[in-house]
Amino acid sequence: MVIKEFESKLNKWGREQVPFLFFVDFELERPLAWKLSEVPKDILFSINGFANCIPQSLDHKIVSILKHPISFSAYKSKFDSVKDRIRQGDSYLTNLTIRTKIEVNCSLEELFFRSTAKYKVCWKNKFLVFSPEIFIQIRDGKIFSYPMKGTIDASLQQAAETILADAKELSEHVTIVDLIRNDLSRVSDKVVVNRFRYVDEIQTSQKTLLQVSSEISGRLPKNHNYNIGSILVSMLPAGSVSGAPKKKTLQIIHETEKMKRGYYTGVVGYFDGQDLDAGVMIRFIEQDENQFYYRSGGGITSQSVAETEYEEVLDKIYAPVY
């Protein structure tokens, strides 16, 4: 299904108030959508508690993820390439991601049921997502977005104060909030930042992380459900996992990462006939034959330091099991 066909189908289902589930890949090349009654049996999902499966009672088990990351020098080569493009003025913020080989002591399906996250998806023998990040929510005639930028180990002394005071993190967050405001302004009016840089706690099997988000909203026009697909597609890919300016930064990502992201950093969501809830597909394990890979990344700005960014992408390799 090409993106225009996908957009038209969702607009039609929106007009008809047909509930549906959808996936969109980062490159917008393989969007998928199903009526909720027709979701394939090899796909499990839970979106803010709305699920097509019953929670399983599992024995207590310590989930282990053994990381085999690329070397720091290999990461720094990619990092330096991005920094050069930022210095040239091609981007203010670029989300750089890597693929890490991992070993995990349970199946993707078992990890799906053991994990806790706002957005969970398990597509058998393909990938597992347990994402904390909202992309957009549409409810009561308004559209909301919650860009997430900034992660720190909660065990560090005064962790929340440290990340909120960090000039690089502030610059990165401001850039993304401005980008999302512009995205929302294309489909809604009265766009406002309701909350700026609030801190959430994320529990993992290894440590507790703090993550910084903002809340932005706008008022949608009457009968916006008739254009639900167009609203969604106009905002893709998600600004928090691409960068700014978006078009040029997407080119930098393609040239630097040298492999397609696929559904990693794409979007998953569902429409219930009235409202829509969609999340960014981060915290992502993909299966390639019998090998597992964890995809993770972070935003690079002119103030970024390679060692700190490398540590952050490795910190983001976790399972939200506790």
- In tens, the pLDDT along 64-122 reads 899 999 999 999 999 999 999 999 999 999 999 999 999 999 999 999 999 999 999 99
pLDDT > 70: percent of the chain: 98
Sorting pLDDT into bands at 50, 70 and 90, what band is 1? low
Place of tokens 């549906």: 20
Sorting pLDDT into bands at 50, 70 and 90, what band is 319? confident
Residue 300's SS3 state is strand
Token code pair at residue 115: 């994990």
Distance CA 138, CA 131 (A): 18
Rounded to two decimals, the pTM is 0.91
Residues in contact with 84: Cβ distance below 8 Å, sequence separation at least 6, in sequence order: none
String of b and e for 258-294 (b: at least 16 CB within 10 Å)?
eeebbbbbbbbbbbeeeebbbbbbbbbbbbeeeebbb
Q: What's the pLDDT at 169?
A: 85
Answer whether 117's CB lies under 8 Å from 285's CB: no
Q: At what angle do helices 72-87 and 306-315 cross, to 10 degrees?
A: 120
Domain ranges in the chain are 3-135+224-315
Q: Which residue has the higher pLDDT, 171 or 135?
A: 135
Token code pair at residue 304: 């970024």
Answer whether 98's CB lies under 8 Å from 295's CB: yes
Is residue 234 predicted with pLDDT exceeding 70? yes
Containing 33, the helix (H) or strand (E) segment is: strand 32-35
Distance CA 319, CA 305 (A): 26
Token code pair at residue 198: 């609030």
Q: What's the pLDDT at 209?
A: 81
Answer whether 253's CB lies under 8 Å from 26's CB: no
Sorting pLDDT into bands at 50, 70 and 90, what band is 51? very high
CATH number of the domain located at residue range(s) 3-135+224-315 in this protein: 3.60.120.10
Which is nearest to 317 in space by CA: 154, 205, 149? Answer: 205
Q: What's the pLDDT at 280?
A: 97
Is residue 59 predicted with pLDDT exceeding 80? no
Sorting pLDDT into bands at 50, 70 and 90, what band is 205? low
**What 8-state DSSP symbol labels residue 18?**
-
Q: Which residue has the higher pLDDT, 155 or 135?
A: 135
Q: Which residue has the higher pLDDT, 138 or 148?
A: 138
CA geometry: angle 275, 277, 282, nearest 5 deg:
170
Give start and end residues of each alpha helix (H) in 104-245: 108-114, 159-165, 167-185, 228-234
Answer whether 135's CB lies under 8 Å from 290's CB: no
Q: What's the pLDDT at 322?
A: 65
**What 8-state DSSP symbol labels residue 231?**
H
